Copies of this chain bind each other. A is one copy, B any other.
């Protein structure tokens, strides 16, 4: 476990701070799948007692990021190929609909902001930033849909597959495919074509799924 941390803020609870940090570390793949998260170790790392650590682990488990067994502790959750497929199928069902409902509400400013993330993503060479920029891009567009619950659930689904997605982007030319698709989605949004944007969102997710499963893109 090679996790660093300096100082906890006073304005937010220790449990939340720990939860956020561990969530980020898991999503970014900093913690390996199957790696045990010892309460003592975390407590020392965050300069707290084990109590807020346990609350954080409990929350992480509800989000499917760790798996806990009684008296055995928590380990970072992995996904089987089937499970990953299931989550992508799920996203392919939800996100196009969110996009369809969002397009009519997109202001000029919002589109500019999204295009900014899109271009930043295409120009970034740092894999660790890809995840954030990718999510900023999609979340910005989805956000105006007004479908709060859909967004909450999509966020959760993204949390579970982000690691695998980044790994895939790094290994193959998936990053090129992602960029082409992102600009395609942007274009449809800017044209105000909700159905096209939805279709391209669907294809984008299916593409990611297949590239992940076959280990090859395009």
B15 and A90 contacting across the interface, CB-CB below 8 Å: no
Q: Give 1 or 0 for each of A167-189: 1 = CB within 8 Å of chain B CB.
A: 00000000000000000000000
Q: In the complex, what distance in Å separates the CA atom of A15 from the CA atom of B62?
A: 13
Q: Give 1 or 0 for each of A129-162: 1 = CB within 8 Å of chain B CB.
A: 0000000000000000001111011001100000
Interface membership of A54, Cβ < 8 A: yes
Contact of A54 among B55, B63, B87, B153 (CB under 8 A): B55
Closest residue on chain B to residue A86 by CB atoms: B149
Apart from A64-B152, A89-B147, what 6 extra A-B contacts exist at CB < 8 Å? A13-B70, A54-B55, A62-B62, A89-B150, A93-B93, A149-B157
Which residues on B sit within 8 Å (CB–CB) of A86? Answer: 147-150
Within 8 A of B (CB), among A29-72: 51, 54-55, 58-59, 61-64, 70
B94 and A93 contacting across the interface, CB-CB below 8 Å: yes
List 24 interface pairs A-B (beta carbons < 8 Å), by A numbering. Answer: A13-B70, A15-B58, A51-B51, A54-B55, A55-B58, A58-B59, A59-B59, A59-B62, A62-B62, A62-B63, A64-B152, A83-B149, A86-B147, A86-B148, A89-B150, A90-B94, A90-B149, A90-B150, A93-B94, A93-B97, A94-B94, A149-B157, A153-B153, A153-B156
Which residues on B sit within 8 Å (CB–CB) of A64? Answer: 152
Q: In the complex, what distance in Å separates the CA atom of A93 from the CA atom of B15?
A: 34
Which residues on B sit within 8 Å (CB–CB) of A93? Answer: 93-94, 97
Describe A's contact surface by its main secondary structure. helix
Known: A51-B51, A83-B148, A148-B83. A90 touches B58 (CB 8 A): no
Which residues on B sit within 8 Å (CB–CB) of A97? Answer: 93
B149 and A87 contacting across the interface, CB-CB below 8 Å: yes
Which of A15, A64, A86 is packed against the most chain B CB atoms within 10 Å?
Answer: A86
Q: In the complex, what distance in Å separates the CA atom of A15 from the CA atom of B90?
A: 30
> Shortest Cβ distance from A8 into chain B, in angstroms?
14
Closest residue on chain B to residue A68 by CB atoms: B13
B55 and A153 contacting across the interface, CB-CB below 8 Å: no
